[in-house]
């Protein structure tokens, strides 16, 4: 890999950042396997690459950058696929570096959704678990990792010190721009997150693709499941309206299923697929535009 590629993609795998999340929020066990039994990445190469990933993310995720990405990708002219074609496409992103589990993207999605189904949640919630990471297809359209995954946060206002590695924002141009570096920036108190630009990545991209098809709580989960500065740290409540506060209860409910449902037993894809095909057909059109 040449130095330019390394600059774009410091992680060995785009899911390395999720392992970092488990270190930051370790209160849940993964399939009852004690946290200390998992490899510790604090002093590892993974920790170093995650740190470099966030350095690039925090320097480059500006208000103007997000606006440009919205203009580029929200035309939805990259590819037209069924949901299942999108899953197959995403499945080329196999995590070869995860020492705890050997699962492709489809199996991770199924583990998330099956845990939700086992707890008796509504079918739209099950489907949300299955869909939530499909936006990672951005990587396959040439986007750098730091513009696909990672914790998300508002742009256009002051960066909270509750965001992971906040010191890296010192190099972000918006940090020294008086238009953007105040508490509210271009926003107003309790304006509602629907009026706030979030850092660009797979969450916002998939939300925009699916916003006409799923119930409101599902859309909140998809759009904000990586917004840890809020649903774990309450750092941006001053921008939220009453609807946001209500809907974030679903985001918080979803989070443990996303992070802590990995298990060594692979889902039986063949047995499960008829159920998910029917579920997808119930809510989504035959083809989606990416």
At residue 30, the 3 state secondary structure works out as strand
- Which residues are registered as beta bridge partners of 156? none
Give, for all 290 residues of the chain, the pLDDT tens digit: 333 345 577 776 666 666 666 666 665 544 444 444 433 445 566 678 889 999 999 999 999 999 999 999 999 999 999 999 999 988 876 433 333 445 677 888 899 999 999 999 999 999 999 999 999 999 989 999 999 999 999 999 999 999 999 999 999 999 999 999 999 999 999 999 999 999 999 999 999 999 999 999 999 999 999 999 999 999 999 999 999 999 999 999 999 898 776 666 788 999 999 999 999 999 999 999 99
Residue-wise burial string across 128-137, b where 16 or more C-beta atoms lie within 10 A, e elsewhere:
bbbbbbbbbb
- Which residues are registered as beta bridge partners of 81? 288
Tokens of 225: 């499941």
- Which residues are registered as beta bridge partners of 101? none
Q: Long-range contacts: 90-94, Cβ < 8 Å, 24+?
A: 90/133, 90/134, 90/136, 90/137, 90/140, 92/140, 93/13, 93/14, 93/136, 93/139, 93/140
Cβ count within 10 A of residue 73:
21
- Locus of tokens 């809020």: 230
- Locus of tokens 């590892």: 44
pTM score: 0.85
CA angle 159, 50, 144 (to 5 degrees): 80
CA atoms 185, 187, 193, 199: torsion sign: negative
**Ranges of each domain in the chain:** 3-289
- List C-alpha distances in Å: 3 to 7, 12, 21, 66: 6, 14, 27, 25
At residue 19, the 3 state secondary structure works out as helix
């Amino acid at each position: 890999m040449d130095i330019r590629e390394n600059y774009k993609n410091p992680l060995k795998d785009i899911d390395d950042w999720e392992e970092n999340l488990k270190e930051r929020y370790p209160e849940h066990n993964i399939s009852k396997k004690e946290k200390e039994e998992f490899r510790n990445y604090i002093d590892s190469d993974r920790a170093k690459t995650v740190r470099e990933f966030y350095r690039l993310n925090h320097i480059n995720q500006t208000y103007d950058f997000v606006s440009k990405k919205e203009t580029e990708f929200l035309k939805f002219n990259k590819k037209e696929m069924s949901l299942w074609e999108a899953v197959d496409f995403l499945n080329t992103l196999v995590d070869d570096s995860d020492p705890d589990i050997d699962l492709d993207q489809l199996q991770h999605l199924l583990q998330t959704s099956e845990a939700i189904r086992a707890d008796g949640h509504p079918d739209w919630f099950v489907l949300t678990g299955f869909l939530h990471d499909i936006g990672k297809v951005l990587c396959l359209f040439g986007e750098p990792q730091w513009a696909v995954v990672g914790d998300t946060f508002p742009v256009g206002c002051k960066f909270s010190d509750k965001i992971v590695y906040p010191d890296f924002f010192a190099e972000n141009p918006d940090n020294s721009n008086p238009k953007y570096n105040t508490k509210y920036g271009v926003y107003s108190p309790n304006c509602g997150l629907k009026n706030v630009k979030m850092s660009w990545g797979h969450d916002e991209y998939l939300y925009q693709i699916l916003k006409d098809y799923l119930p409101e709580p599902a859309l909140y989960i998809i759009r904000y499941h990586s917004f840890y500065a809020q649903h774990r740290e309450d750092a941006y409540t001053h921008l939220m309206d009453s609807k946001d506060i209500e809907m974030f209860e679903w985001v918080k409910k979803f989070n443990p299923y996303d992070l802590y449902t990995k298990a060594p037993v692979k889902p039986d894809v063949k047995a499960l697929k008829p159920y998910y095909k029917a579920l997808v057909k119930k809510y989504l059109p035959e083809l989606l535009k990416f």
